[in-house]
Chains A and B, each alone.
Chain A
Amino acid sequence: MLLIKNLHANVAEEGRKILKGVDLTVGKGEVHAIMGPNGSGKSTLANVIAGRETYEVVEGDVLLNNESLLELEAEERAHQGVFLAFQYPVEIPGVSNAYFLRTALNANRKAQGLAEMDAAQFMTHIREKVKLLGLPQEMLTRSVNEGFSGGEKKRNEIFQMAVLEPALCVLDETDSGLDIDALQTVAHGVNSLRSPDRAFVVVTHYQRLLNFIVPDFVHVMMDGRIVQTGGRELALELEDKGYGWIEQQVAAQV
């Protein structure tokens, strides 16, 4: 489903190199975890997939279902089924959560040639999902993420994901700043969305999240490249030994 080939990307304004040849293949229904030390390029990779313009792709390609995403605008990628759960969800004062989400949902439906939903249909559509994420009803009428706690913001991200039903879900450090209860709620939401047609790329610094969202593959990123790939046990090993031993291995190969 997702194919990343030799991806190189810079910070657009300063030209600083961040991704230096990432290769990654994600199949339908799979959950891939991307781990790595701070500054290794994990979040950049997530943002590049989603089309953030602060990064400039200088080499390589990102393909979704055999079609390149790189020429597409962020919203067009969303219409193709790309969803990025933000590490720091953005506050938008003055725009209600429900209005925002209905606008987004209808924009996606329109792009996919489906009829738009009116307010009543929309409420029916989201009722179940509100329950799934344990969102208080009033969170729908509040401005998008404004004044939300860290946990509420992350739950809201997963809630939006549940409503938009994307094909490829990229989670950027969704576990950061969450206590264990919030983490479980979020993981429960993600797990309920797992399906044979949907893939997940879970970017995380800690293995803790992977106790709840069990990955099929674990990749380690370092200095802008994926340097190690394994199964779930790799995450446990990293938890145990840290990243140092991989760094040494990489250094030894050079």
Chain B
Amino acid sequence: MLLKQYERELDKVLARAEGSGADMPAWVKDLKAKGLRTHREHGVPTPKVEDWKYTPLRDFSERDWKVAEPGPAVFKAELPRYDAGSVRIVLVNGRYDRNLSETAPGVTTVSLRDAMVSHGALIEARLAQAGPDTTKTVDREIRPDVFTFGELNTASFEDGLFLMVEPGVEVAPLLEVVHVLCAEDGEPTIAFPRILVIVEDGARIRFTETYVTDGCNDSACVPVTEVFVGGGADVEHVRVQDQCACSTHIGLWQTRQQAESSYRSYNVCFGSKLGRLDQGIWIGGEQTVTRLDGVVCANGEQHLDNHTRLDHAVPNGNSFEIYKQVIDDSATVVFNGKIFVHQDAQKTDAKQTNQALLLSPNATIDSKPQLEIFADDVKCTHGATVGQLEDLPLFYMRQRGVPRDAAEAVLVYAFAAEVLELISIEPVRRALEKRLYSKLGIDLT
């Protein structure tokens, strides 16, 4: 047991989790108890566990975490907003903030705690249900340790956001969900945001989900986002992790997609010292379009790990996955991209590309594409490249008078922008491009 689990196990956190569902409906209490049991069983995985081989959690495991209380009403930094015309919803330390959050007609955006009463049956049927369908999975076993932090979130969450779009409704404005993490100075604080998104048949929505720390603090965020995309629905989802450089982020993001739907998702990772995200999409209906793209920019001592898992469970699915990863200084980036094409999933068309650009001799990438195909009439391609900036384009730009630093920055930017340009929401794309520039130290003036 000790080989697979650290000795010290988040004592305070688990103690608090036991009471976190006290005033919630009985079915939530059951769900939480199960989550706590499962988490206890698998614990915080050590590098002996294949899926955590490159991401050591010893420091995380041994920290004396305190569970985040409801946050302050006043923040040190301004909360992000990409689009002046958007509807912004704010979660502070994982709790829906009524005063700071706006609402829009046609879309339900309420506290998850309240929704478990007001929309009980619907939520009971969906909460913690967006992961791979274990009765139909094709890999020998779904390793439960991948989801151990999802279980920890289920056991621990005290509130969150319920976002629902009724059938056929097209939500016009952009929705921006902002998670802000607050912590007292020098106090390691952990938060468990939980979002459940249900987009019913034929509905359309574009939304962002942004994780930030309030100033720089020693916080950890262990969020779970679940998205249900109904038949014929159209969803664009941009997830931005831009926490401060001393924080931790271990997230789970799961989506289920039904027939003829389109789900375009973008994972933008700029922040945190230690970052890990497991994204899973289960394609359960035919004639779907799925994007799961990523832009990762790591520098300093950052360690950013992204695992994606895509299940083509039925025929005629089209999926596209492009990951662009920029790594500088002594940062480490990990990518693992699993695509499972089930036996029934004929005529699947899946493309995966992941590219890493190393800017320093101490930068590291561990890249692992993993395609498992059980159907015989499919088109699946994948390509992984690791490279450095090429000499010739640099010389070309410098010959025209552009200083070396700026030339390098422009080339790096161009490398990553290939994914950012796919985002159709212009203000979001612009803001992220600007953020990438600032992270790369490019002066735009």
Let me know if A92 and B414 touch, CB within 8 A.
Answer: yes
- CA separation between A247 and B397, bound complex, in Å? 38
Known contacts A103-B410, A107-B406: A90-B418 contact under CB 8 Å: no
Let me know if A104 and B401 touch, CB within 8 A.
Answer: yes
Known contacts A78-B401, A104-B402, A107-B401: A93-B414 contact under CB 8 Å: yes
| B144 within 8 A of partner (CB) | no
Who on chain B is nearest to A50 by CB? B399
Specify which chain B residues have a CB less than 8 angstroms from the CB of A73 in the assembled complex: 398, 404
| A191 within 8 A of partner (CB) | no
Specify which chain B residues have a CB less than 8 angstroms from the CB of A51 in the assembled complex: 398-399
Taking a contact as CB atoms closer than 8 A, the residue among B392, B401, B414, B417 that contacts A90 in the complex is B392
- CA separation between A58 and B345, bound complex, in Å? 64
| B415 within 8 A of partner (CB) | yes
Let me know if A52 and B400 touch, CB within 8 A.
Answer: no
Taking a contact as CB atoms closer than 8 A, the residue among B401, B407, B414 that contacts A108 in the complex is B401
Who on chain A is nearest to B392 by CB? A90
| B391 within 8 A of partner (CB) | yes
Let me know if B403 and A75 touch, CB within 8 A.
Answer: yes
Interface of B is mostly: helix
Let me know if B396 and A93 touch, CB within 8 A.
Answer: no
Interface residues of B in 374-407 (CB under 8 A from A): 391-393, 395-404, 406-407
Known contacts A53-B395, A90-B393: A95-B401 contact under CB 8 Å: no
Let me know if A164 and B414 touch, CB within 8 A.
Answer: no
CB distance from B420 to the nearest CB of A (A): 10
Specify which chain B residues have a CB less than 8 angstroms from the CB of A149 in the assembled complex: none
| B437 within 8 A of partner (CB) | no
- CA separation between A221 and B391, bound complex, in Å? 27
Known contacts A75-B403, A107-B406, A108-B401: A93-B395 contact under CB 8 Å: no
Let me know if B399 and A74 touch, CB within 8 A.
Answer: yes
- CA separation between A164 and B402, bound complex, in Å? 12
Let me know if B393 and A74 touch, CB within 8 A.
Answer: no
Let me know if A75 and B402 touch, CB within 8 A.
Answer: yes
Let me know if B410 and A95 touch, CB within 8 A.
Answer: yes
CB distance from A152 to the nearest CB of B (A): 16
| A150 within 8 A of partner (CB) | no
Let me know if A75 and B418 touch, CB within 8 A.
Answer: no
Let me know if B414 and A74 touch, CB within 8 A.
Answer: no
| B216 within 8 A of partner (CB) | no
- CA separation between A210 and B401, bound complex, in Å? 28
Known contacts A104-B402, A111-B401, A160-B400: A93-B418 contact under CB 8 Å: yes
Taking a contact as CB atoms closer than 8 A, the residue among B391, B397, B398, B400 that contacts A54 in the complex is B391
Who on chain B is nearest to A143 by CB? B414
| A186 within 8 A of partner (CB) | no
Specify which chain A residues have a CB less than 8 angstroms from the CB of B413 in the assembled complex: 94-95
Who on chain A is nearest to B396 by CB? A90
Known contacts A94-B417, A94-B418, A104-B402: A74-B395 contact under CB 8 Å: yes
Let me know if B403 and A107 touch, CB within 8 A.
Answer: yes
Task: For chain B, give the interface size range.
Answer: 20 to 34
Known contacts A52-B395, A90-B392, A95-B410: A164-B401 contact under CB 8 Å: yes
Who on chain A is nearest to B421 by CB? A94
| A21 within 8 A of partner (CB) | no
Taking a contact as CB atoms closer than 8 A, the residue among A52, A79, A86 that contacts B401 in the complex is A79
Specify which chain B residues have a CB less than 8 angstroms from the CB of A164 in the assembled complex: 400-401
- CA separation between A92 and B400, bound complex, in Å? 13
Specify which chain B residues have a CB less than 8 angstroms from the CB of A82 in the assembled complex: 399
Let me know if B400 and A86 touch, CB within 8 A.
Answer: no
Cβ contacts A63-89/B at 8 Å (1 or 0 each): 000000000011101110011101001
| B107 within 8 A of partner (CB) | no
CB distance from B442 to the nearest CB of A (A): 10
- CA separation between A92 and B407, bound complex, in Å? 11
Specify which chain B residues have a CB less than 8 angstroms from the CB of A108 in the assembled complex: 401
| A212 within 8 A of partner (CB) | no
- CA separation between A89 and B392, bound complex, in Å? 10
- CA separation between A39 and B415, bound complex, in Å? 35
Known contacts A73-B398, A74-B395, A75-B398: A92-B403 contact under CB 8 Å: no
Who on chain A is nearest to B415 by CB? A94
| A100 within 8 A of partner (CB) | yes
Interface residues of A in 105-119 (CB under 8 A from B): 105, 107-108, 111
CB distance from A109 to the nearest CB of B (A): 9
Specify which chain B residues have a CB less than 8 angstroms from the CB of A92 in the assembled complex: 393, 396-397, 410-411, 414
CB distance from B433 to the nearest CB of A (A): 11
Cβ contacts A155-176/B at 8 Å (1 or 0 each): 0000010001000000000000
Known contacts A52-B395, A54-B391, A89-B396: A75-B401 contact under CB 8 Å: yes
- Residue among A74, A77, A84, A100 with max Cβ neighbours from chain B (10 Å): A74
Specify which chain A residues have a CB less than 8 angstroms from the CB of B397 in the assembled complex: 92, 100, 104
Specify which chain B residues have a CB less than 8 angstroms from the CB of A89 in the assembled complex: 396
- CA separation between A82 and B399, bound complex, in Å? 8
Taking a contact as CB atoms closer than 8 A, the residue among A75, A86, A95 that contacts B414 in the complex is A95
CB distance from A187 to the nearest CB of B (A): 22
If A54-B391, A107-B406 are given as contacts, then 11 extra A-B residue pairs at C-beta distance below 8 Å, sorted by A number, are: A51-B398, A53-B391, A75-B403, A78-B398, A83-B400, A90-B396, A92-B410, A94-B415, A100-B402, A107-B403, A164-B400
Residues of B within 8 A of A (CB): 391-393, 395-404, 406-407, 410-411, 413-415, 417-418, 421
17 A–B contacts from the bound complex (CB under 8 Å):
A51-B398, A53-B391, A74-B399, A75-B403, A75-B407, A78-B401, A82-B399, A84-B399, A86-B399, A90-B392, A92-B414, A93-B414, A93-B418, A95-B414, A107-B401, A107-B402, A107-B406
